[in-house]
Structure 1
């Protein structure tokens, strides 16, 4: 018998607003929440926190582990979700970083560009077939009021000439906004049952200097 619960995957949900969102959703028994984090230790700690401190139940919580700064792990994440969970109703793209200095990933890309934008772009592409199997499924992208601070520097997308953390964070969020709008239109044209929305948080909810949402 199919699981009647709504399955929700939240990236970057081992702390901050991601964990709180997971806790709020897991408090409702009709939701099944998949926590995502960079390590099993962090995911287990978040699961226990939600179950013990926030009224959630261990029976409607699970987790997946992947480092979004490694594109091969994004593929593994999507494959694991499809293998372990029969359905997916909501993908909430929350994970994000704010790095003080320019860092490169193992894939040779600027880290904020990859984690905040590209890996979510890729994950949405990989999980769209699974989402499309359900009626009224959703992709929710955590945006930012800071997306309007700047424009995309097409000549220096990896910030090799100049790096300023807030400008690069703003550019990545602008890319996410544009991606979400484009994907939503494509879902409509393809007559898919997936809606795509951007959720803008207030300035007080932006990442602080610890580097993560």
Structure 2
């Protein structure tokens, strides 16, 4: 029965998204698509709590066109702890659902703001600073021309928010000091490396491996 549950969620997300574009680009467009992403996250976390083999769940995730997005959710779920009590397992599934839906709705809000401003939205997280020590939370190879649509962004935003931090992301080529060809997810720059290191230590429990790097952000 559980296999039917997760396959139904995968199908639901695929139908909601259609066949083109990245997963979170489509999931973010309408409310019911964020709800579908939440349903999928809940089902995946149920597998995690049952300690089902990761390879099996990834194999299920690979059966549809939404493979990349679903795999990101699976890996994030398995990065989190499994619990013994049924009550705590249920809470973990609900928390994961809410994290994914929160990130999805937040992306939708960002996209709406950018559309209203004609695509000229200035990243609030930069606070008018462009050069300094950045806390690098994650990166991924560029697969399209969007920096707000990937599943990895949704997961990174949700995880950083749990530690109280706002994520900024853009093409790595816009950072003088970063290697080109990636989307990078960062916390805004600091004047001193020591301050960036303190922030890295604070966000690490929610993200995992992070590091500090100096760069000058070129902006638009």
Scaled to the shorter chain, the TM-score interval is under 0.3
Normalized against structure 2, the TM-score is what? Answer: 0.26
Larger helix proportion of the pair: 2
Normalized against structure 1, the TM-score is what? Answer: 0.27
